[in-house]
Structure 1
Amino acid sequence: MKRLIIRLLVAAASLLGALPLAAANSLADSPSPYLAMHGQDPVDWHDMRDTQALQKARRLGRPLFISSGYFACHWCHVMQRETYSDPEVARFINEHFVAFKLDRELDPVIDARLIRFVEYTQGTAGWPLNVVLTPEGYPFYGFTYLPKARFLDVMRQLATLWQDDREEIERLARGAAEELDRLTGAAEKPLPHTPRSALKAAFLKAVRASADRFEGGFGNSIKFPSVPQLEALLNLNAEREFLATTLDVMQQRNLQDHLHGGFFRYSTDPGWHTPHFEKMLYDNAQLARLYLRAGRLLDRRDWQQTGLRTVEFARRWMRHPRDGYIASLSAVDDQGHEGGFYLWTRAEVEAALTPRERAVLVRHWDYTAPPEFEEGNLPPRIDPRTPDAAALGRIYRKLAEHARAHRKLPQDDKRLIAWNALMLSALAECAASDTDCRSDGQALARWLAHQAGRPEGLPHALDSQDRPVGTATLEDHALLIAALDDWMRAQPARRKALEPVRRRLARAARQRYLRPDGWLANDHPLLSGDRPRRHFPDTVLPSPTARIYARLASAGADGLHSLKDLACTPVAGMQDNPFEHASWISSPELDQGCGEVKR
Structure 2
Amino acid sequence: MSPVAGNTLGGSTSPYLRQHADNPVHWREWTPEALAEAAERDVPILLSIGYAACHWCHVMAHESFESEDVAAVANAGFVCIKVDREERPDLDAVYMNATVALTGQGGWPMTCFLTPDGRPFFCGTYYPKLGFLQLLHAVAETWRDRRDEVEQASEQIATELRSISAGLPGGGAPVGPELCDHAVAAVLKDEDEASGGFGGAPKFPPSALLEGLLRHHERTGSSPALQSVQRTCAAMARGGIYDQLAGGFARYSVDPHWVVPHFEKMLYDNALLLRVYAHLARRTGDMLARKVTQETAAFIISDLGAGGMFTSSLDADAGGSEGLTYVWTRPELRSVLGADDGDWAASLFGVTEGGTFDHGASVLQLRRDPEDGARFESVRAALLTARASRPQPARDDKVVTAWNGLAITALAEASVALDQPEFLSAAVECARGLLDLHVLDGRLRRAGLGGRVGDSAAILEDHGALATALLTLYQLTGFGLDEAVGLLDVALEHFADPDQPGRWFDTADDAEKLMVRPADPIDGATPSGASLIAEALQLGGHLTGSQRYLAAAQATLSSATPILARASRSGGHWLAVAEAAVQGPIQVAVAGDPSSPLLAAARRLAPGGALVIGGGVDSTELLNGRDRVDGADAAYVCRGTVCDLPVTTVGELSAALRAAV
Query: Is TM more than 0.5 here?
Result: yes
How far apart, in 2, do the equivalents of 1:278 and 1:564 lie?
35
Q: 1:96 touches 1:159 (CA, 8 Å); kept in 2?
A: yes
How far apart, in 1, do the equivalents of 2:390 and 2:192 lie?
39
Aligned to 1:255: 241
Q: CA deviation at 1:192?
A: 3.4
Q: CA deviation at 1:89?
A: 1.2
How far apart, in 2, do the equivalents of 1:348 and 1:408 lie?
17
Q: 1:198 to 1:531 in 2, by over 3 A?
A: farther
Structure 2 unaligned segments of length 5 or more: list them: 586-638, 640-661
Aligned to 1:450: 436
Q: CA deviation at 1:362?
A: 3.9
Aligned to 2:582: 591
Q: 1:217 touches 1:225 (CA, 8 Å); kept in 2?
A: yes
Q: 2:333 touches 2:343 (CA, 8 Å); kept in 1?
A: no
Q: 1:343 touches 1:376 (CA, 8 Å); kept in 2?
A: no
Aligned to 1:325: 310
The residue matched to 1:28 in structure 2 has which SS?
helix
Aligned to 1:515: 497
Q: Deviations over 1:142-201 (max 9, x none)?
A: 11112111222223222222223222322222222222322443x523463475445435
How far apart, in 2, do the equivalents of 1:564 and 1:423 lie?
23
The match for 1:26 among 8, 24, 30 is 8
Aligned to 1:74: 55
The residue matched to 1:228 in structure 2 has which SS?
helix
Amino acid at match of 1:242: S
Q: 1:453 touches 1:501 (CA, 8 Å); kept in 2?
A: no
Q: 1:137 touches 1:527 (CA, 8 Å); kept in 2?
A: no
Q: CA deviation at 1:436?
A: 2.2
Q: 2:349 touches 2:365 (CA, 8 Å); kept in 1?
A: no
Q: 2:49 touches 2:85 (CA, 8 Å); kept in 1?
A: yes
The residue matched to 2:126 in structure 1 has which SS?
coil
Aligned to 1:4: none
Aligned to 2:558: 569
Q: How does 1:528-567 map to 2 (within 5 A)?
A: 528-531=514-517, 533=519, 536-554=521-539, 555-556=541-542, 557-559=545-547, 560=549, 563=552, 566-567=555-556
Matched, 1:132 2:132: no
Deviates more, 1:293-302 or 1:369-378: 369-378
Identity in percent:
30
Q: TM-score normalised to the size of structure 1? A: 0.88
Aligned to 1:84: 65
Aligned to 1:364: 348
How far apart, in 2, do the equivalents of 1:583 and 1:408 lie?
34
Q: Deviations over 1:237-284 (max 9, x none)?
A: 253332222111111111101122100000111111110000000001
Q: 1:253 touches 1:380 (CA, 8 Å); kept in 2?
A: yes
The residue matched to 1:515 in structure 2 has which SS?
coil
The match for 2:284 among 278, 298, 314 is 298
Amino acid at match of 2:89: P
Q: How does 1:465-480 map to 2 (within 5 A)?
A: 465-480=451-466
Q: CA deviation at 1:585?
A: 3.9
Q: 2:311 touches 2:400 (CA, 8 Å); kept in 1?
A: yes
Amino acid at match of 2:195: E
Q: CA deviation at 1:202?
A: 4.7
Aligned to 1:278: 264
Aligned to 1:377: 361
Q: 1:67 touches 1:128 (CA, 8 Å); kept in 2?
A: yes
Q: CA deviation at 1:63?
A: 1.6
Aligned to 2:655: none
Q: CA deviation at 1:75?
A: 0.9
Q: 1:449 touches 1:498 (CA, 8 Å); kept in 2?
A: no
Q: 1:431 touches 1:441 (CA, 8 Å); kept in 2?
A: no
How far apart, in 2, do the equivalents of 1:302 and 1:366 lie?
18
How far apart, in 1, do the equivalents of 2:352 and 2:504 lie?
56
Q: TM-score normalised to the size of structure 2? A: 0.80
The match for 2:569 among 573, 579, 583 is 579
Q: 1:488 touches 1:498 (CA, 8 Å); kept in 2?
A: yes
Q: 1:473 touches 1:521 (CA, 8 Å); kept in 2?
A: yes
Q: 1:282 touches 1:541 (CA, 8 Å); kept in 2?
A: yes
Q: Deviations over 1:316-360 (max 9, x none)?
A: 21111x211111011111x21111111234554454334453344
How far apart, in 2, do the equivalents of 1:124 and 1:283 lie?
22
How far apart, in 2, do the equivalents of 1:578 and 1:191 lie?
19
Amino acid at match of 2:202: I
Q: CA deviation at 1:426?
A: 0.8
Q: 1:203 touches 1:582 (CA, 8 Å); kept in 2?
A: no
Aligned to 1:188: 168
Q: CA deviation at 1:38?
A: 0.7
Q: 1:183 to 1:456 in 2, by over 3 A?
A: closer
The residue matched to 2:117 in structure 1 has which SS?
coil
How far apart, in 2, do the equivalents of 1:130 and 1:210 lie?
33
Q: 1:465 to 1:212 in 2, by over 3 A?
A: same
Q: 2:197 touches 2:205 (CA, 8 Å); kept in 1?
A: yes
Aligned to 1:219: 199
How far apart, in 2, do the equivalents of 1:394 and 1:511 lie?
56
Q: How does 1:391-540 map to 2 (within 5 A)?
A: 391-432=375-416, 433-451=419-437, 454-455=440-441, 457-489=443-475, 491=476, 494-495=477-478, 497-517=479-499, 518-523=503-508, 525-526=511-512, 528-531=514-517, 533=519, 536-540=521-525
How far apart, in 1, do the equivalents of 2:374 and 2:367 lie?
10
Amino acid at match of 1:214: A
How far apart, in 2, do the equivalents of 1:134 and 1:68 lie?
16
Amino acid at match of 2:184: L
Q: CA deviation at 1:421?
A: 0.8
How far apart, in 1, do the equivalents of 2:523 and 2:96 lie?
15
Q: CA deviation at 1:236?
A: 1.7
Aligned to 2:226: 240
Q: 1:131 to 1:198 in 2, by over 3 A?
A: farther
The residue matched to 1:514 in structure 2 has which SS?
coil
Amino acid at match of 2:523: D
Deviates more, 1:51-60 or 1:509-518: 509-518
How far apart, in 2, do the equivalents of 1:365 and 1:306 lie?
16
Q: 1:311 to 1:297 in 2, by over 3 A?
A: same
How far apart, in 1, do the equivalents of 2:485 and 2:171 lie?
30
Q: Deviations over 1:107-147 (max 9, x none)?
A: 01110121122122212111111111122211222111121
The residue matched to 2:113 in structure 1 has which SS?
strand
Q: 1:508 to 1:326 in 2, by over 3 A?
A: same
Aligned to 1:7: none
The residue matched to 1:99 in structure 2 has which SS?
strand
Q: 2:56 touches 2:108 (CA, 8 Å); kept in 1?
A: yes
What RMSD over aligned residues (CA atoms) do the two structures have, in Å?
A: 2.8
Amino acid at match of 1:577: A
Deviates more, 1:424-433 or 1:349-358: 349-358
Q: 1:564 to 1:371 in 2, by over 3 A?
A: closer
How far apart, in 1, do the equivalents of 2:384 and 2:340 lie?
18
Q: 1:26 touches 1:45 (CA, 8 Å); kept in 2?
A: yes
Aligned to 2:78: 97
Aligned to 1:11: none
Q: 1:190 touches 1:572 (CA, 8 Å); kept in 2?
A: no
Amino acid at match of 2:491: A
Aligned to 2:41: 60
The residue matched to 2:28 in structure 1 has which SS?
coil
Aligned to 2:630: none
Matched, 1:46 2:28: yes
The residue matched to 1:142 in structure 2 has which SS?
strand
Q: 1:200 touches 1:586 (CA, 8 Å); kept in 2?
A: no
Q: 1:383 to 1:287 in 2, by over 3 A?
A: same
Q: CA deviation at 1:511?
A: 2.9
